[in-house]
Amino acid sequence: MPPSTPDRVRIVVPDDFPSVFKGTDAHKRAAALWEVTVFSERGADQEDELIRRIGRAQVAINIRAHAKFAEPVFRACPTLTLISVWGTGVDNIDLHAAGRNGVTVCNTPGTNANAVAEHALALMLAVARQVPAVDRAMRGGQWPRELLTQLTGKTLGVFGLGTIGSRVATMGRALGMNVLAWSARGDANRARALGAQPASKEDILREADVVTLHLMLETETRGFLRRKEFALMKPTAILVNTGRGALVDREALLEVLRERKILGAGLDVFHEEPLKPDDPILALPNVVLSPHIAGQTPEVIRDGLLRAVENVENFLKGAPTDVVVSPSPSRR
């Protein structure tokens, strides 16, 4: 249960690196609740350091996915009652452990939807029109005249019909693409309402000219695309991933890109972030890369952080919002 009065609350932001929270309106709003400690230095990716930073706090505002909230963290921080996540993804939190240890987890779904959808579209176009490669060639004195890929009239396959996936489906239709959609919840009516055609996973992979991933990373979706799925795709297909790197089997992805079994990929997320300088994905010419930056706009940061603090406020009032997991009944 949340504390009975706000004056008992200590709020910690253990992972504001790189810093987006400190000194903002969201920071000031949180400080109006009670003492707020913000850590803007690297280190929250180390479990012992994360535990030290949380200490006796009752609320943690989670900024970065590199801070991993696992069972040992909850056991070492028994006063923690709420994790308010900035963003939609909560795969850095052991949700079962949170519930068992009396911790509520909230997130801020949809606040980055327009930005991420725009970025997914930008990656599609950058791969299809070979923008980075053409730019590099011209700067090197060449005048490349290869044929490019037109998206109008092509088929877009959207996996995941949350706020982001739905927005991408709408943008695809605006480009004149035929949209096939797959919902993890089997929501065919939502697909139809967006003007998309609901389809099976296999049919989308066979028919789509562009496959774009907008799924939550869960046990069921980890490795959503493996070798057998890539084998179904057209050799002219493009993969876009702005969801999570682990949605795709890394070795299978490297194989199909090296061997040109698909046209290319636009990636904003990776199995390891940041990428190491020798990561083989960096050597592939048919990949357009961005550093998990799709949702990084001033509007997204402002609105998302304020909503994360609003979730803290509502929790303290006894009316939690945007709840991903609640404490197990035995811990209430």
Same-domain pairing of 147 and 221:
yes
What gap in Å lies between CA 289 and CA 268, rounded to an integer? Answer: 6
Same-domain pairing of 232 and 284:
yes
Higher pLDDT, 329 or 189: 189
Span 1-38, pLDDT tens digits? 444 444 456 999 999 999 999 999 999 999 999 899 99
Mean pLDDT of 142-171: 97
Active-site hit among 229, 244, 307, 310: 244
Does residue 164 lie within any of the structural domains?
yes
Span 53-109, pLDDT tens digits? 999 999 999 999 999 999 999 999 999 999 999 998 899 999 999 999 999 999 999
Does residue 211 lie within any of the structural domains?
yes
Same-domain pairing of 128 and 185:
yes
Same-domain pairing of 118 and 175:
yes
Same-domain pairing of 125 and 226:
yes
Mean pLDDT of 165-194: 96
Least confident segment among 185-189, 252-256, 318-322: 185-189
Q: Is 227 a catalytic residue?
A: no
Active-site hit among 273, 299, 302, 331: 273
pLDDT at residue 287 in the model: 98
Q: For the whole model, what pTM was predicted?
A: 0.87
pLDDT at residue 2 in the model: 47
3-state DSSP call for residue 168? helix
CA distance readout (Å), 284 to 69, 136, 237, 280, 294: 34, 14, 16, 7, 21
Does residue 169 lie within any of the structural domains?
yes
Mean pLDDT of 167-181: 98
Does residue 262 lie within any of the structural domains?
yes
Same-domain pairing of 58 and 188:
no
Q: Is 273 a catalytic residue?
A: yes
Mean pLDDT of 42-57: 97
Does residue 223 lie within any of the structural domains?
yes
Same-domain pairing of 139 and 270:
yes
Same-domain pairing of 218 and 148:
yes
Total domain count for the chain? 2
Which residues are within 8 A (CB) of 126 and not within 5 positions of it... i.e. 6 or more apart? 132, 266, 288
Tracing tokens 């900035």 back to the chain, one arrives at 86
Active-site hit among 10, 29, 292, 302: 292
Question: In which domain, by residue range, is 252 found?
Answer: 113-289
Residue 170 phi/psi, 5-degree rounding, is: -65, -40
What are 239's strand-pairing partners?
211, 265
Do residues 301 and 111 touch, judged by C-beta distance below 8 A?
no
SS3 per residue for 89-106: CCCCECHHHHHHCCCEEE
Same-domain pairing of 72 and 207:
no
Which CATH number is 175's domain given? 3.40.50.720
Same-domain pairing of 305 and 250:
no
Does residue 61 lie within any of the structural domains?
yes
Tracing tokens 């519930």 back to the chain, one arrives at 99
How far is C-alpha 289 from the geometric centre of its chain's CA atoms? 15
Does residue 10 lie within any of the structural domains?
yes
Same-domain pairing of 98 and 240:
no
- Round the average pLDDT of the chain to a whole number and report it: 95
pLDDT at 332 over 50: no
pLDDT at residue 307 in the model: 98
Span 231-267, pLDDT tens digits? 999 999 999 999 999 999 999 999 999 999 999 999 9
Same-domain pairing of 43 and 119:
no
Exposure class string for 209-219: b at 16+ Cβ within 10 A, else e: bbbbbbbbbee
pLDDT at residue 89 in the model: 87
Does residue 1 lie within any of the structural domains?
no
CA angle (3 as vertex; 66, 19 as ends), nearest 5: 30
